[in-house]
Amino acid sequence: MEALTYTQIRKNFAEAMNRVCEDHKPVIITRQSSSPVVMMSLEDYNAMEETLYLMRSPRNAERLLKSISDIKRKHLKEHDLIGDKEE
């Protein structure tokens, strides 16, 4: 993750915001007398919040991690979606 000073960000604020949104890479903003902060796009923040919500339940987290593992091992099964069958 790139780190920039408050002064650097202030000089190129619009450019920094555009880069964060386009590259989907957060930027750490360091400050002399205060704790650093992170600038990230709203899209990435919302995705992070959703992931945290989904992983909050241990059972759901286990199922999601197993699914990711199955995909990586190409252990996949094809299923019809509900409502896709012609009646």
**pLDDT, averaged in runs of 10, over the chain (87 residues):** 94 96 97 96 97 92 91 86 70
Q: Decide: 49 and 41 in contact? Cβ < 8 Å.
A: no
Q: Decide: 11 and 34 in contact? Cβ < 8 Å.
A: no
Q: What is the pLDDT of residue 87?
A: 53
Q: What is the pLDDT of residue 77?
A: 81
Q: What is the pLDDT of residue 75?
A: 86
35/16 same-domain check: yes
34/50 same-domain check: no
Q: Decide: 24 and 44 in contact? Cβ < 8 Å.
A: yes
Residue 87 belongs to a domain: no
* Domain of 55, in residue numbers: 43-72
Domain count within the chain: 2
